[in-house]
Structure 1
Amino acid sequence: MKKNILKSSVENASLNILLQIAIRCLTFVINAFVLRHVSQNEIGITNVRLLLLESTILFLSREAFRRACLTDTLHHNWLKVINLIWLSVPICAVICTVCGYIWLRLLSQPDVSVTVYYEFGVWSILISCIIELCCEQLYIVSQAFLFVKLQVVLEIINIVVRTLVYTSMVLYSDGQNAVLAFSFAQLASVIAYTVSFYIYFWYYTKQKNKDFPFKTMWEFFPNFSGKKWSECVDFPLFLLLWSFLKQGFMKQLLTDGERYVMTLFNTLQFDQQGVYDVVNNLGSLAARFLFKPVETSAYFYFSQLVQREVSIKKQIQQDSNRIKEAASVLECLLRVNSSIGLTVLSFGQAYAKLALFLYGGSALATGIGPVLLQLHCLAILFLAVNGITECYAAATMNVTELNKYNMEMVVLSVIFLFISLLFSTLLGAIGFILANCCNFIFRIFQCGQYILLEYKDTNYSPLKGLLPKKSFICCLILSITGTMYSEEVLCL
């Protein structure tokens, strides 16, 4: 089923961005209301401790499968690919066992005066992760065959169910038992998401679409009966998967390193973690509703257009238009993301306090909150650039380059954890944001070097997209000056 990859990728990104904006506007209003009813201690437990458990399990269990199995999908033997994807479920079960033991037995437990539902919260995360992995093959197939609207609808179902269950339970209990509400919302949303996926593909396979390789629902389940291992699993894809699995551990440390330091070393109390998380969530709105959909679509686009095992120079000789398009899109994405990051940085300095006041009331707008949000705007700039450079590198590196990159990630992870612990000990929550900035700078430099070498001695320089125009810089300077002055004169 051949489609215009660029057109479908842009459509996917556009719909996801519109979805994220609509959903975030809804959840922004609801969260602003809920924050006035839930204690900062419980926010710290749910949004840092429990969501860290979920992100750890899901990232380690499925991210490598998504990256590997979405490479060159036109030439897949889907029987072998489906078998490979289902290996994510036992991997998830093993990771759940290890992480569950750590979260329940080794980490410090919240005081019973804060919540008595912490253990139930951990179990709800473990169960929901295994349930969600049972529809991973459907997610990858929907990505490969460009079921753009399906993914948008299912994401809406997931978020709406989660928000409605959590909000109604919190308001019904007058702000008490927020951890219990979070746990039920987690289970309900994942079950709704998974069941919806199966219902849709059950209906779709009944239509007998000629371009679709799956004719019955049974073909979405593993089939190892009476066959050799080599006949059941795509071995080259397995090697690529193994490289991404090794990379996943390091990338997860780099992504959520500050939360691991908070959790393992107790550098911040639960209420301080709650404030940090609220500021982080508010500051990361752009990353969630804009950068993430673009990165997901860009990864799929580059993985289909650029061959991993063939040098750029040879690919230019084979099809110069394809590489010209890829380089042009990369340059454009870097320019757009860096421009958005610079805009957020310039306006965030003046409006951080006002944003926190509107979001969480005077409790958040006073103290260290505004300073954290101002610094977080700097991290958003680096995050915007890193997302594109890293997704291009992951989509185009061959197995040897990925293994080398993984070794560099090991060193970088150790450095990042050390910097996070050092800075947070000296500066508190501010130290985590500064450590994150250092983390992103190192990763941008790492992937930037790869891109430079890829396009060396060619006519393309996609990294030029990082250089803003003089007129844009002048506008930013005027914006910073004007907004800072208006804050001084008009705001409290």
Structure 2
Amino acid sequence: MSKNILGSSLENASLNIVFQIFCRLLTFILNAFVVRYVGQEILGVMNVRLLLLESTILFLSREPFFKACLTNTAEHNWAQVVNLLWLTVPLCGVMSIFFGYIWLYKLPMSDGLPADYAFAVFSVALSCIIHMSSLVVQLISVAFLFNGFKIIVDTLMIVFRTILFVSMILYKAENALFAFSVAQLASTLFYTISHYIFFYWYIKKIDNDKKKIKKYEIPMNNENIDDNFDNEFPFKSIFEFLPGYMNNRDSTFDNKLVILTWSFFRQGFLKQILTEGERMIMTVIPVLTFAQQGTYEIINNLGSLAARFIFRPIEDSGYFYFTQMVKRDEKINQQNPSKIQESVEVLTNLCAIVTSIGFIVLVFGQSYSSTLLWIYGGDKFTEYLPVLLLRAHCLAVLLLGINGVTECYTNATADSATINKSNLTMIYQSIIFLGASCILVYILGPVGFILGNCINMSLRIFHSVSFINERHHDTNLKPLDGIYPKRLFSILLVVSGLVTTITQYYSMWIHLIVGTIMFACVMSSWMYEHKELVILGIKKLRKRRNQRLSKND
């Protein structure tokens, strides 16, 4: 665990961005394929109802344990961590039965459900349990910075699931839900088995390296041996990933991790409502048909490109980075000054990046939503409602970016007491969000979901910003300065918005050319006003390239 935390976090973020781009492109192609061969109704059932079931079970079973156990991993008693993480399997089983029953017998069925719906619910629930059986090795791959392996296995899983699903659809399109179910189960099994096979190989590799040292007395500065010792990998056998097998002189569970997990668990219910509120309303209250849900989901996926491609990887890597740099239970002014200074600079830069991306999407999205939808889905997606939905999503993207970074810092650095206090705040946020969404949907139609989500994001941003300011009030540090866009960048954004609003009434090619020029001007102004950040990024890339070249030599 002596690897550079910031460097590894940046590497993880960059790899995740590439992975998310690949996944989103694949998802868009798959959605278009499903709509063409099967229909929007099936897409609505799969992407709204069934994926909501999966996300609810996994989020409540996985997220609290995963977040708690990622905290300060260098000081873990891994036997206690393994024991704690395996509690997720029976917990996931209970939740699968509970939510599976609701999905089968309690949810409204106004449209009528397609064939194989019950089997699909069963498959999703079972796949969640299988997924949780590899949570230990998933955490280890993150904690010990196996970034390349994580991206490779995630990509292979997506490709495997897509190929299997498409093949079955082409063979018999009317069995779409059955194909979805089989692909879900098979890909989850592949994902779980792949993790165990990799770490079985890795442990064998460490053993072989140690034997070579003893036999041939290889110097300790050998590159491969250095890497293995630097990792300080504590697992000697694949069986130590199971509960009770690893040598442990302490109690069965780490009490601090248990308390932290419980805090995240209680928060998880509320956060799931805030995150998946629109899908929940669609599922519980039949305000939209399955076909309308399918259309909304397509627009929603398209509108959240930046969030999926860039924001989520930044959040995940940022969370891990901040958990290692900032201690939860100590005041900022009592911690290592160099670590705090670095973490503040990272938070400031992350805020600057996501805010700038959000404003660019907001400004250019108003003029280019119709063009993008036409390119993606043809004339049927350029009607008033899809364009309005995508334009509204552009505002949501800005708020999503700011909320993601500020909330990841809050969750990574808050102690258990603070997390517990925030649960009450989240209750109020959930009530406001659900109430606002229902009212806005009733008045404005589907766009009300997006506006309700914007209200939700605004409340969460306010809560996180308040925490961050309070955390640093005894210092001269200002980690949130990056939220405010700089002058030249702001001026050019306003000019770009005005110009592209006018050019959208001309031919598409003129509109695209002018937009490209204005976008280049905006990006140039941002790079000029953030020269230090750009130079830092270039240096990091050069350093990584030189390291790879030196290893190859």
- Shorter-chain TM-score bucket reads over 0.9
Number of the residue aligned with 1:62: 62
Number of the residue aligned with 2:233: 212
Using the TM superposition, give the Cα deviation of residue 491 of structure 1 relative to its aligned residue in structure 2, in angstroms: 4.1
Number of the residue aligned with 1:140: 139
Higher relative contact order (CA 8 A, sep 6+): 1
Number of the residue aligned with 1:74: 74
Mapped pair 1:108 → 2:108: yes
1:81 touches 1:233 (CA, 8 Å); kept in 2? Answer: yes
Q: Residue 372 of structure 1: which of 381, 389, 409 is its match? A: 389
- State the Cα deviation string for residues 434-486 of structure 1 (Å, max 9, x = none): 10000000000000000111111312101111110111112212222232223
Number of the residue aligned with 1:90: 90
2:34 touches 2:43 (CA, 8 Å); kept in 1? Answer: no
Number of the residue aligned with 2:216: none
TM (norm. structure 1) is 0.95
Which segments of 5 or more consecutive residues in structure 2 lack a partner in the other structure? 207-227, 510-553
Number of the residue aligned with 2:170: 171
1:32 touches 1:358 (CA, 8 Å); kept in 2? Answer: no
**Pairwise mapping of residues 63-462 of structure 1 onto structure 2 (< 5 A)?**
63-109=63-109, 111=111, 115-173=114-172, 175-208=173-206, 209-210=228-229, 211-223=232-244, 231-315=251-335, 319-462=336-479
Mapped pair 1:51 → 2:68: no
Helix, strand or coil for the counterpart of 1:488?
Answer: coil
Cα–Cα, structure 1 residues 158 and 149, in superposed 2: closer, same or farther, change >3 Å? Answer: same
* Whole-Å separation in 2 of the counterparts to 1:234 and 1:435: 40
Deviates more, 1:343-352 or 1:482-491: 482-491
* Whole-Å separation in 1 of the counterparts to 2:319 and 2:7: 14
> 2:244 is matched by which residue type in structure 1?
N
* Whole-Å separation in 2 of the counterparts to 1:85 and 1:33: 38
Which segments of 5 or more consecutive residues in structure 1 lack a partner in the other structure? none
TM (norm. structure 2) is 0.85
Number of the residue aligned with 2:484: 467
* Whole-Å separation in 1 of the counterparts to 2:154 and 2:110: 32
Helix, strand or coil for the counterpart of 1:214?
Answer: coil
Number of the residue aligned with 1:24: 24
* Whole-Å separation in 2 of the counterparts to 1:140 and 1:96: 22
2:333 touches 2:475 (CA, 8 Å); kept in 1? Answer: yes
* Whole-Å separation in 2 of the counterparts to 1:302 and 1:9: 10
How many percent of aligned residue pairs carry the same amino acid? 48
Give 1 or 2 for the bigger CA radius of gyration. 2
Using the TM superposition, give the Cα deviation of residue 30 of structure 1 relative to its aligned residue in structure 2, in angstroms: 4.2
2:92 touches 2:129 (CA, 8 Å); kept in 1? Answer: yes
Using the TM superposition, give the Cα deviation of residue 391 of structure 1 relative to its aligned residue in structure 2, in angstroms: 0.4
- State the Cα deviation string for residues 398-455 of structure 1 (Å, max 9, x = none): 1111110111111211221111111112222111101000000000000000011111
Using the TM superposition, give the Cα deviation of residue 77 of structure 1 relative to its aligned residue in structure 2, in angstroms: 0.4
* Whole-Å separation in 2 of the counterparts to 1:360 and 1:489: 21
Q: CA RMSD in A?
A: 1.8
2:203 touches 2:235 (CA, 8 Å); kept in 1? Answer: yes
Deviates more, 1:284-293 or 1:392-401: 284-293
1:224 touches 1:232 (CA, 8 Å); kept in 2? Answer: no
2:364 touches 2:497 (CA, 8 Å); kept in 1? Answer: yes
Helix, strand or coil for the counterpart of 2:36?
Answer: coil
1:110 touches 1:118 (CA, 8 Å); kept in 2? Answer: no
Deviates more, 1:293-302 or 1:409-418: 409-418
* Whole-Å separation in 1 of the counterparts to 2:479 and 2:38: 47
Using the TM superposition, give the Cα deviation of residue 23 of structure 1 relative to its aligned residue in structure 2, in angstroms: 3.4
Using the TM superposition, give the Cα deviation of residue 29 of structure 1 relative to its aligned residue in structure 2, in angstroms: 3.6
- State the Cα deviation string for residues 133-184 of structure 1 (Å, max 9, x = none): 00000011111100010110011011111211222222333x4332222212
* Whole-Å separation in 1 of the counterparts to 2:182 and 2:309: 25
Aligned residues: 486
Using the TM superposition, give the Cα deviation of residue 488 of structure 1 relative to its aligned residue in structure 2, in angstroms: 1.2
